[in-house]
Amino acid sequence: MRKPAYTLEQVRSFVAVAETEHISRAAASLFLTQGAVTQQVRNFERAVGLQLLERDGRKVRLTDAGKSLAEACRAALRAVEIMGDTAQAMKELQAGSLHVGASPTCATYYLPPHLAEFTRRHPGIKLNMTVEPSAELNRRVLAGSLDCAVIEGAPDAGLLVFELARDELVLVAHSEHPLSRLRRITPADLAGHLYLGRGPEWSAEQTVHDMLGDAYQHVEKLNLGHPEYVRAAAVAGLGFAGLAKRAVASDIAAGVLKRLPIPPSLRPISAIRRHGHGGPAQEAFWDLLTGGGTRASGKISSDGRAKP
């Protein structure tokens, strides 16, 4: 096997700069001088034969090549961490790390109990948490920079999947919104009102699209990103929205929001990971999710999906 022309320290320095887009901040995070980090990144660029960074005033920015290589470098560093974890008497799980991802709804309502139980059982494991849209989490788990994730919506076909629960998505509006006065809603009723969405990168948008049918294409949209921003806008009376029932239950009970008379949609809440054996912390957490989760009786079939 050919020996790489770059070092692990060079890769680590490049990832730190890629994440902060700032030499001094990267240096501080690595406890190195700015000059040392600059030299490490330059040596790494020479080794791979690519320009990875461009100066942008006092900051730096990734080139297209830098963006492509950064994710592979993150995955490589994660692989090194796993190797170190395994080498440190990980049988007893007294030390190590776990990198978990979650979509916002899952991070709020589904993952915390599992994380709390895991830290109670294994207090020596350092947790790292990433909250992103489901599509980004699928990509990062596939790349290996995350050990596993809990998402809503469709998992990537190349991943191992276990369904933890079903999440109910409902349409809501402020109790004084014109739509809240209707007993039956037609596409024409919706077309005259603002829809508060997340944006096309969020899996819930496809669910809402399915709920509204052709009407989805005709409503005026305001994309707000994070579902909590969407909820806040709905509470303020800005428009109607599709949100997790659990996220708006207290608002509905208080009479601030009202469910609209459109059938809700159930979407799976799934744990995802790559096939094959992972590090000890990853395996312990996966066992906790699949053995003690909401669907504890679920079995993983040959295609990686849960069966009752």
Rounded CA separation 252/77 (Å): 46
Burial letters 227-252, b for 16+ CB under 10 A, else e: beebbebbbeebbbbbbbbebbeebe
Q: Are 123 and 92 in contact (CB under 8 A)?
A: no
Asked if the model's pLDDT at residue 304 lies above 60, the reply is no
Mean pLDDT along residues 59-69: 91
Nearest by Cα to 171 from 229, 247, 116, 106: 247
In tens, the pLDDT along 195-238 reads 999 998 898 899 999 999 888 988 999 999 999 999 999 999 99
Q: Among 8-22, 74-88, 97-111, 125-139, where is mean pLDDT lowest? A: 74-88
Q: Which domains does the chain have, with CATH numbers?
A: 8-75 (1.10.10.10), 92-308 (3.40.190.290)
19-35 pLDDT, tens per residue?
Answer: 999 999 999 999 999 99
Per-residue model confidence (pLDDT) at position 303 = 35
Burial of 28 (0-12, 13-18, 19+ CB in 10 A): middle
* Cut 0.85: pTM above it: no
In the 8-state DSSP scheme, what is residue 288?
H
Report pLDDT digits (tens) over 42-54: 999 999 999 999 9
Q: Confidence class of residue 302 from pLDDT cuts 50, 70 and 90?
A: very low
DSSP 61-113: EE-HHHHHHHHHHHHHHHHHHHHHHHHTTGGGT-S-EEEEEE-HHHHHHTSHH
Give the best-scoring range by mean pLDDT among 53-57, 237-241, 287-291: 237-241
Q: Please check the confidence at residue 1 and state whether its pLDDT lies above 70.
A: no
Between the ranges 37-41, 76-80, 90-94, 292-296, where is the mean pLDDT highest? 37-41
Confidence of residue 305 (pLDDT cuts 50, 70, 90): very low
> At residue 2, does pLDDT exceed 70?
no
Residue 308 has pLDDT above 90, yes or no: no
List, in sequence order, the alpha helices (H) in 236-299. Answer: 245-253, 280-292
- Residue 294 is predicted with a pLDDT of 34
Q: Are 62 and 21 in contact (CB under 8 A)?
A: yes
Question: 162 with 297: CB under 8 angstroms?
Answer: no
